């Protein structure tokens, strides 16, 4: 993928002596033990019922834990984190001078360090083919980079859902594939929604997964997915002729015939990273 400015993303910062401890008690991944210098974690904040509220990346730099989140949910996530702050010795703020980039390349004129080195850069922890992500000051990054279109095309081709694809409090973390996308730790301590997530894991009650559907025409953002006339799932989000659907795997296996979504003939694809 070519370098891009992911201008549909935003950056929050959590600083202070208890920053790691604070976030560790809230999110699905192991911030305290799994976040090393030069790396990033993919994680989510869940409801008490174990459904995804917000998914995001966490890395460390600029004297804080940096959160790379969807721009349209930034304010709501900031408000939610501040609600949980209580007496924790942390500061939580938006870092508007920072932006999110993918696959930065090249060097500033007459500079020895590359653009990627001038930012906080880490490999996308979900799927290696998505490349590198960077959080950097817009004033120090290359100008006139293309927007996120190519990134999202690659993400859709790989069948990787994120942000608005999940909705808010619609999908359980394991149904969304967060375990396979390296977004959940089952060895860390408690976090919000942990009890139900662990129960689904150990009782093997997860029967749904988010799969990709494609059609010869634009797909709506909602609607039933059927096979041979039997309902097997529902559309969660659409991106033109590609959409994500939450599908009951047992019903998919039990049924036969053509697959439709909102009465439109579609092809259903299981991504290679999904076990």
- Between CA 49 and CA 204 the distance in angstroms is 17
- Between CA 99 and CA 182 the distance in angstroms is 23
- Between CA 133 and CA 122 the distance in angstroms is 6
Q: Dihedral through CA 127, CA 156, CA 179, CA 66, nearest 10?
A: 70
Same domain, 11 and 138: yes
CATH of the domain at 84: 3.30.70.1400
Q: What share of the chain is helix, strand, coil (3-state, %, to 5)?
A: 20, 35, 45
From the CB of residue 158, how many other CB atoms can be counted at a distance below 10 Å?
Answer: 15
**Could you say which of 119, 148, 177 is where a domain stops?**
148
Same domain, 25 and 95: yes
What's the confidence (pLDDT) of residue 110? Answer: 64
Q: What is the pTM of this model?
A: 0.95
What's the confidence (pLDDT) of residue 14? Answer: 98
**Could you say which of 103, 128, 148 is where a domain stops?**
148
What's the confidence (pLDDT) of residue 205? Answer: 63
- Which residues are paired to 98 by β-bridges? 137
Task: Give every residue of the chain whose pLDDT is below 50, as ranges.
Answer: none
What's the confidence (pLDDT) of residue 204? Answer: 72
Same domain, 127 and 38: yes
Whether 187 is in a domain gets the answer no
CATH of the domain at 258: 2.40.30
**Could you say which of 130, 148, 166 is where a domain stops?**
148
What is the domain extent for residue 257?
A: 207-269
Q: Note the pLDDT tens digit of each residue in 119-165.
A: 999 999 999 999 999 999 999 999 899 999 999 999 999 999 999 99
């Amino acid at each position: 993928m070519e370098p891009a400015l992911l201008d549909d993303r935003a950056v929050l910062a959590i600083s202070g002596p208890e920053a790691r401890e604070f976030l560790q008690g809230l999110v699905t991944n192991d911030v305290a033990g799994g976040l090393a210098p030069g790396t990033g974690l993919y994680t989510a904040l869940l409801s008490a019922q174990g459904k995804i509220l917000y998914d995001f990346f966490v890395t460390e730099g600029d004297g804080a834990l940096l959160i790379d989140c969807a721009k349209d949910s930034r304010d709501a996530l900031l408000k939610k984190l501040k609600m949980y702050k209580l007496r924790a010795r942390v500061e939580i703020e938006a870092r508007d001078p920072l932006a999110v980039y993918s696959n930065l390349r090249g060097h500033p004129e007459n500079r020895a360090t590359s653009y990627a080195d001038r930012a906080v850069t880490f490999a996308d922890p979900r799927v290696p083919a998505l490349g590198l992500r960077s959080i950097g000051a817009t004033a120090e990054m290359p100008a006139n980079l293309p927007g996120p279109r190519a990134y999202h095309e690659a993400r859709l081709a790989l069948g990787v859902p994120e942000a608005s694809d999940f909705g808010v409090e619609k999908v359980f973390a394991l149904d969304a594939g967060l375990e396979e996308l390296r977004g959940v730790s089952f060895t860390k301590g408690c976090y919000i929604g942990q009890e139900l997530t662990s129960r689904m894991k150990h009782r093997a009650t997860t029967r749904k997964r988010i799969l990709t559907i494609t059609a010869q025409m634009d797909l709506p953002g909602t609607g039933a997915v059927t096979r041979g006339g039997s309902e097997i799932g529902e559309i969660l989000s659409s991106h033109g002729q590609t959409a994500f659907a939450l599908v009951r795997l047992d019903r998919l296996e039990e049924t036969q015939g053509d697959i439709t979504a909102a009465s439109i003939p579609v092809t259903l694809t299981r991504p290679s990273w999904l076990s």
